[in-house]
A and B are shown apart, each in its own frame.
Chain A
């Protein structure tokens, strides 16, 4: 079976996280990461990346755009602008 080094660990990480890896390979990967400071640090930053990007790009929809969207939809349907 494939010997785990950092590079193979990175290549296999997605399958590991999605639960698609055979138990034996999973155990090997766990063992490598537990004993490798570099892989432990890498995995921590890999897992943090989606959260950081998600938080940093969590835009709020401007109220004016909310209003104009409903107006566009009403115009499309032919029921015209809604009076405030």
Chain B
């Protein structure tokens, strides 16, 4: 059966659920890059291929349960994110050093401890650092985030889902997403600043 180019995700999912294999191939082709990128950001490049494969197999096996109450993309992200979180939970190795140390610091009056020059350095990390070095450190930094913060930050800020969509994917309240994303941004902002030369 020919698959029209303009078919929506939801229409493809319905066809795939009825046994149209080409429709599911089209879903895989349409989403494979996004799913791979999500997997890399969640578990790192070494484990990402396993998450991609497990995620798509799980999506395929669960097609009959897709109820069209959420967007197909949100439903797919939920399944792949859960596959990634299972990988993270199965790890025995944990990051040795938390990123908490990079949270902003204030004096007794509640004023930023760092100077304006130090505070703005993080905004220029991509200009100040070698691209490959920054890529390696960015991946390592994501790995050092607590899992709850990592999943919220990756979905909201890196995959650019809305706060409501992230809440739906993670099964938490939007306020919880905002709190986790904010905390992750604060830690990563401080980390980028330190990486670009700000002493702490």
**Complex CA distance for A42 and B182, rounded to whole angstroms:** 13
Q: How many residues of B contact A (CB 8 A)?
A: 60
Contact of B135 among A18, A39, A57 (CB under 8 A): A57
| B30 is an interface residue with CB less than 8 A from chain A | no
* CA of A4 to CA of B117, assembled, Å: 22
Partner of A42, one of B24, B112, B131: B112
Interface bracket on A: 35 or more
Which residues on B are within 8 Å of A, measured CB to CB? Answer: 21, 24-25, 28-29, 32-33, 36-37, 40-41, 45, 48-49, 52-53, 56-57, 60-61, 104, 106, 109-112, 114-117, 119-126, 131, 134-135, 137-139, 141-142, 157-158, 160, 163, 178-179, 181-182, 185-186, 188-189, 192-193
* Subset of 15 A-B contacts with CB under 8 Å: A7-B111, A10-B186, A14-B179, A38-B114, A42-B112, A45-B122, A49-B189, A52-B138, A55-B126, A56-B139, A57-B158, A59-B48, A61-B32, A77-B21, A79-B21
Candidates A5, A54, A66; contact of B32 at CB < 8 Å: A66
Interface of A, helix, strand, loop or mixed by DSSP: helix
Q: Find out whether the CB atom of B104 lies under 8 angstroms from the CB atom of A10.
A: yes
- A15 to B174 Cα, complex, angstroms: 11
CA distance A53 to B156 in the complex (A): 12
